[in-house]
Structure 1
Amino acid sequence: MTWSKFWFGAKNLPFWVFSLRALILYISLIIGTRYMRQRQIAILSGHNYLVAAGIVSLSAVRMVNPESSLVSGIAIIFVYASINVFISYLDVKFPRQIDRHSTILVENGKLIRKNLMDSRITIDQLLGQLRIKNIFDLSEVLLALVEPTGKINVIKKSQSLPVTRKQMDLPLKNINLPIILVYDGEVQKDNLDLLGYNLKWLEEQISKNGFTDVKEIFLAMLESNGTIYLSA
């Protein structure tokens, strides 16, 4: 087995060579993705999606085919990545010319049929997306837009919005993130210290819920409302 076969492919490659070629391609994909930054990961634009699909499909062929050239696979990854970075730069400088823009589908409860047709979105798809957001009547919608990513965002009319604590003159509550205290029988001491609690406090909370040992618990979590969630 020569280096020429390793880099440019051959009919019969040893398994370790085949595996090493796949590893090199995978590492190249990671480097290429890092080079394209968060924009590519989120797939914010049409060309971002095409680049991601193209890189993955072309690289996959070279991973499974021993006769394909490893050099051409690596070249494809970085050429595609460079093109994507360049187009993304143009997109930032000239967004209207390069990429799509948000399109209004519903305004003040009224469907905008032309925009719906231009976006290639059916009424069933629109209504389905509204139902996901707990909106069942078009008359509740102040504004519905399809974003360049294809996601539909909705603003409800003020009379359809739920009453807030501020409107009811109730004291405001801060929403805190749930914090894991025990995972798979292991106490998360860093999180306990962050909250200002100790192991004795945790054991008391566990015993109140009928447990005698931390090892019995799969998940213990302090929820945003201040209660303890326990699961064995």
Structure 2
Amino acid sequence: MPEALEVVLRTIFAVVVLFFLTKLLGKRQVSQLSFFEYITGITVGSLAAYISLDTDKTWHLGLIALVVWVAFSLGIEFLQIKSKKARDFIDFKSTVLIKDGKILENNMKKERLSTDELLEELRKKDVFRVADVEFAIMESDGAINVLLTRENQPLTPKDMGIKVAPEKETLAVIMDGKVMDEPLDNMNLSRKWLQGELEKLNLNVEDVFLGQVDSYGELTVDLYADNMKVQQPQDKPQLYALLKKCEADLELFSLSTKNKAAKQMYAGCSDQLQALLQELKPFIQN
């Protein structure tokens, strides 16, 4: 066999083996790498290159080394899952860099982190004053997480006592101008429903680059024609307005009737509908 062809075949073989072994190691190998995972990635890549380019008769030894290294990595990961001491020894402990707005210089020296690097990491978190930081910690993968002081944290609806609708997964039902049947089935929706929603927007499926449906059944679309504006559906605001009108009508009936039983009935229904509107407001009013 020609040497060049042999290298090509070995390279393809190495890529296939490396792909399956990497899948075996799991998703963490391609996300934020720990110290040991970083070493594993370098070594596995070097072994795969050896298998591809070594043209003598010992290339299979590289394959054996690759399998052994992956098996050893799986054993280390299993040990880390079972033992916190092993995790701390292999991947290092997290280190506190700032506490109560004060930089811990000894911990900075321990991690060999300069003041400029710390300030740069804080700016990436939109923090420009160390005094605004309640707590900053360097994780085992080198990332720095920051907790602001209470008065500097963003105001949330919960802080204001406002109830908001829960956020759930949004599914893509149209992609590249084609309907995705599986997400529609998962949301108990049909193509007929989707077609009706598109007609409300005066659109065809072919016009839509990406269409998504949230957990409340509202369709939002991104079109191929970027300069074209999409008319936003007004179903929920119209529903809220209709319910408000019903509540006002019930209150008016209560005031206008002279029948005590009817007056109490209308007033009670008005109060119930008003309470219901307060609960539904975050869900149906945009």
Give the TM-score band, short-chain normalised.
Answer: 0.7 to 0.9
Give the one of 6, 13, 20 matched to 2:3.
Answer: 13
Shift of 1:35: 4.3
Of 79-88 and 220-229, the range deviating more from structure 2? 220-229
Return the TM-score normalized by structure 1.
0.81
Q: Which is bigger in relative contact order (C-alpha 8 A, separation at least 6)? A: 1
Q: Alpha-carbon deviations, 1:183-207, whole Å to 9, x = none?
A: 1111112222333333333233323
Cα displacement (A) at 1:71: 0.4
Shift of 1:144: 0.8
| Aligned counterparts, 1:190-229, within 5 A | 190-211=182-203, 213-223=204-214, 226=218, 228-229=220-221
Q: Is the 8 A contact 1:185 1:218 kept in 2?
A: yes
Aligned equivalents of 2:164, 2:73: Cα separation in 1: 46
Q: Percent identity?
A: 26
The superposition leaves residues 71-129 of structure 1 with CA deviations (integer Å, 9 ceiling, x where unpaired) of: 02202212222332344445443333333110001111111112112212222322222
- Of 222, 227, 238 in structure 2, the residue corresponding to residue 230 of structure 1 is 222
The 1:155–1:222 alpha-carbon spacing in structure 2 relative to 1, beyond 3 Å, is same
Aligned runs of 1:18-37 on 2, under 5 Å?
18-37=7-26
Q: What secondary structure does 1:203 align onto?
A: helix
Unaligned runs of 5+ in 1: 2-11
Change (3 A) 1:178 1:131: farther
Alignment deviations for residues 108-163 of structure 1 (CA, whole Å, 9 cap, x no partner): 11111121122122223222222222222212211111111111111121111122
Alignment-mate amino acid for residue 205 of structure 2: V
* 1:57 aligned residue (16, 40, 46): 46
SS class of match (2:3):
coil
* Root mean square deviation, CA, Å: 2.6
- Relative to its length, the structure with more helix (as a share) is 2
* TM-score after normalising by structure 2: 0.67
Change (3 A) 1:27 1:63: same
Residue of 129, 136, 141 corresponding to 2:128: 136
Deviates most, 124-133 or 176-185: 124-133
The aligned runs of 1:1-232 (5 Å cut-off) are 1=1, 12-13=2-3, 15=5, 17-42=6-31, 44-67=33-56, 69-91=58-80, 92-93=82-83, 94-95=85-86, 96-211=88-203, 213-223=204-214, 226=218, 228-232=220-224
- Look up the SS of the partner of 2:113 in the other structure: coil
Contact 2:138/2:145 (<8 A) preserved: yes
Instruction: Give me the whole-angstrom Cα distance separating, in 1, the residues matched to 2:62 and 2:42.
Output: 14
* Stretch of structure 1 that moved more, 178-187 or 217-226: 217-226
